[in-house]
Amino acid sequence: MFSFKKLFGKEDVFFGLLAASAQEAHDSVQALVKLCQGMDQPAGLEEIARARRKDKEITTEIRTAIHTAFATALEREDIDALARALYRIPKTVEKFVDRVQIVPLQVKGVDFSQQIPLLKEATECVLQLVQSLCRGINLEEVQKWNDRLQHLESEGDKAMIVIYRNLFDGQHDPLRVLILKDLYEMLEKVIDRCRDVGNVISQIVLKNS
């Protein structure tokens, strides 16, 4: 395994920031999972808002450092691409929460359980991928986690087919169908955002191997 630390003689500041961003993305999804299990839980809303604010601060710090750092272990464009991909996870989570708060009566008692396990595992994969990158270049490990993310995305697509079938069976109020369709698709997008992180890291590892 290639080690950036050995090359530079110290830890690159960006790895710490990227790891922190990945942790906030992970925490925002864990808070989302709690929220989906009980839409009347204000604690979940607060955790999501906190994770989003913190990750925004970290992303801003990364982008500032990109322009001021003398040398970086990774190309600046790759650091920026990964930071943006990570930031989109809590951002998408917050969008879901914003929409839920607009229509609280429509989401009361809604079952999001088909997507919850996929969300939880996808964000765990993201955390493992970023931590792996911070340790160095390990093609086999990165490929393992990225393959898992691709599988979770495929499972998410299958879950959406079942969800669409249930929504469009003609037994639901049209307005409720539109609202829930949007929310289910937003959760699916969170999984897609996690997959995007995996793709960015895979490209970085391939470039530096």
Domain locations along the chain? 10-208
| Residue 9 pLDDT greater than 60, yes or no | no
Pick the CATH number of 10-208 from 3.40.50.80, 1.20.58.220, 1.10.10.10, 3.40.50.300: 1.20.58.220
Q: Is 187 left (phi over 0), alpha (psi -120 to 50) or beta?
A: alpha
Q: Which of 36-45, 46-55, 135-144 has the lowest mean pLDDT?
A: 36-45
> Residue 176 corresponds to which tokens in the numbers above?
């409720």
Phi, psi at residue 189, to the nearest 5°? -65, -30
Alpha helices in the chain, H assignment, sequence order: 4-8, 13-37, 42-68, 76-102, 104-107, 116-135, 139-167, 174-208
Mean pLDDT of the chain: 86
Burial (Cβ within 10 Å: 0-12, 13-18, ≥19) of residue 144? middle
The residue with greater pLDDT, 136 or 141, is 141
Tell me what the mean pLDDT of segment 4-22 comes to: 69
Gap between the Cα atoms of 160 and 114, Å rounded: 9
R_g of the chain computed on alpha carbons: 18
